[in-house]
Amino acid sequence: MSKLTGRERISRQLKHLPVDRIGAFEAFWQYTMRNWEQQGKVPPNSCPLEHFGLDIQLCAPCNMRIHPLSEDQLVSEDEDTVTLLDGNGATLRRHKKHDSTPEHLAFAIKEREQWLELAKPFLTADAATRLNRNAYRNARQQAAEKGRFFCWAGVNVFELMHPICGHENMLMGMALDPDWIRDMVNTYSELILQLQQELFATEGQPDGIWYWEDMGFRGRPFMSPDMYRELIMPAHQKTIAYAHSLGLPVIMHSCGFVEPLLPQMVEAGIDALQAIEVKAGMDLLRIDQQFGEKIALIGGLDVRPIANNDLPGIKRELENKIPIVKKHRGFILHSDHSIPESTEYETYLYFKETGLKLGTY
């Protein structure tokens, strides 16, 4: 088969059709690219998509904060961290010197009454404040010019709820006040669809939809399959059905151990799963055996040998997995999370080039 563009390749892989090679995509910590720039390995302000010839381009054009125009307010600062009050009324501590999940300190919303007063009335589909049309338009045009598969990207309902009330309050609500959770789920899913409809009508459709939806941690999902089916799955079905009505495939990113939820996620309609986090307990080969004919798989390649610049370990990881998972024609090369700052430039090149060589048909 002749060489395909990234758009052609990913479009075909999401349908399990023959391709020239497996697709390639990756996420990089901001300090990773910065380190490589300082070392002279990549030009200043390099775009990793362009530099490494990756196949997928994302654009997240929707501001889903309760107050989309609010600036983060400085609460305190020390040598290593900064504490901010954000537009969701959440107080978060972030590290200055490396990328990491912020520490959750406090939330203005802890239960239903506060949600009804402080959040729900403000979650309206005001395109002027919530849509970055220029970013979407420019990214869509760039992806078309470069032949990349272009995705509208954004968070779905689970990842929209916990930033306003915290995981603990949200999970307690799922158990003790499910009607509150249903109200948040319905409000956010409607907001997602209204903003997508407005954006696509004026700026054109993407090639696909990418949802971030981290529903697991190490060894466990955040909820049982039954609770997922009852409270979260209806929103996934609704938002995925809308994408499918436009002919758009849906890729769902979900960190952590989400394998117990996968049968329901597939039933909800996802076309691909990403990141398949090894250190959380996810097993790419096992998931491929169970679901590889039904959905595409993106990731599942342990990032720890990459982070440790362990070339023999990378080689073993790739050789043990890619020849097997490429058989369903839906596997896309990606680490099981993202490339951290400890990674040497040459190490990532080795990972990508070796992976694509093994993934050539």
pLDDT tens by residue, 47-90: 999 999 999 999 999 999 999 999 989 888 888 889 889 989 99
Q: How far is CA 268 from CA 110, 259, 291, in A?
A: 29, 14, 14
Q: Is the pLDDT of residue 104 over 90?
A: no
For residue 11, what pLDDT is reported? Answer: 98
Tell me the residue ranges of DSSP E strands in 118-157: 149-155
pLDDT-wise least confident of 95-109, 168-182, 218-232, 333-347: 95-109
Mean pLDDT of 164-173: 96
State residue 79's pLDDT score.
85
* pLDDT at residue number 1: 80
Ranges assigned E (strand) in the chain: 23-24, 56-59, 73-77, 81-85, 90-95, 103-107, 149-155, 208-212, 216-217, 220-221, 250-254, 272-275, 296-299, 331-333
SS3 350: helix
The percentage of the chain sitting over the pLDDT mark of 90, rounded to a whole number, equals 90
- Give the model's pLDDT for residue 101: 77
Please name the amino acid found at residue 353: E
Q: Report the pLDDT averaged over residues 291-305.
A: 98
* Percent of the chain with pLDDT strictly greater than 70: 99
Q: Average pLDDT for residues 210-232, to the nearest whole number?
A: 97
Question: What does the block give as tokens for 256?
Answer: 């952590």
Q: Which two tokens stand for residue 124?
A: 């309206």
Q: Which residues lie closer than 8 Å to 147 by C-beta, 6 or more apart? A: 5, 6, 7, 8
Contacts 24+ apart (CB under 8 A), 195-202: 195/62, 195/125, 195/127, 195/130, 195/131, 196/152, 196/242, 198/125, 198/127, 198/131, 199/61, 199/62, 199/127, 199/131, 199/133, 199/136, 199/152, 200/152, 200/246, 202/133
The per-residue pLDDT for 103 is 83
Q: Please state the rounded mean pLDDT for residues 189-194.
A: 98
How do residues 107-134 score in pLDDT, each as one tens digit?
999 999 999 999 999 999 999 999 999 9
First to last CA, the chain: 8
Using alpha carbons, list the distances in angstroms from residue 313 to 46, 78, 324, 357.
28, 38, 18, 17
The model's pTM is 0.96
94: confidence class by pLDDT, cuts 50, 70, 90: confident
Q: What is the pLDDT of residues 248-272, one digit of tens each?
A: 999 999 999 999 999 999 999 999 9
Going by C-alpha positions, the residue among 258, 215, 58, 246 that lies closest to residue 152 is 58
* Residue whose pair of structure tokens reads 């520490």 in the numeric block: 103
Report the Cα 130 to chain-centroid distance in Å: 20
Residue-wise pLDDT for 305-328, tens only, equals 999 999 999 999 999 999 999 999
- What integer pLDDT is reported at residue 170 of this predicted model? 97
Phi, psi of 331 (to 5 degrees): -95, 135
pLDDT score at 30: 86
Q: What is the pLDDT of residue 227?
A: 97
Which token pair is 76? 């305190």
Higher-scoring residue by pLDDT: 187, 91:
187
Cross-strand partners of 28: 339
Computed over every residue of the chain, the mean pLDDT equals: 96
Kindly report the length of the chain.
Answer: 361
- In the predicted model, what is the mean pLDDT of residues 80-108? 85
Q: Report the pLDDT averaged over residues 327-331.
A: 97
How many Å apart are CA 113 and CA 109, to the nearest integer?
Answer: 8
Q: CB of 231 within 8 A of CB of 182?
A: yes
> Is the confidence at residue 102, as pLDDT, over 90?
no
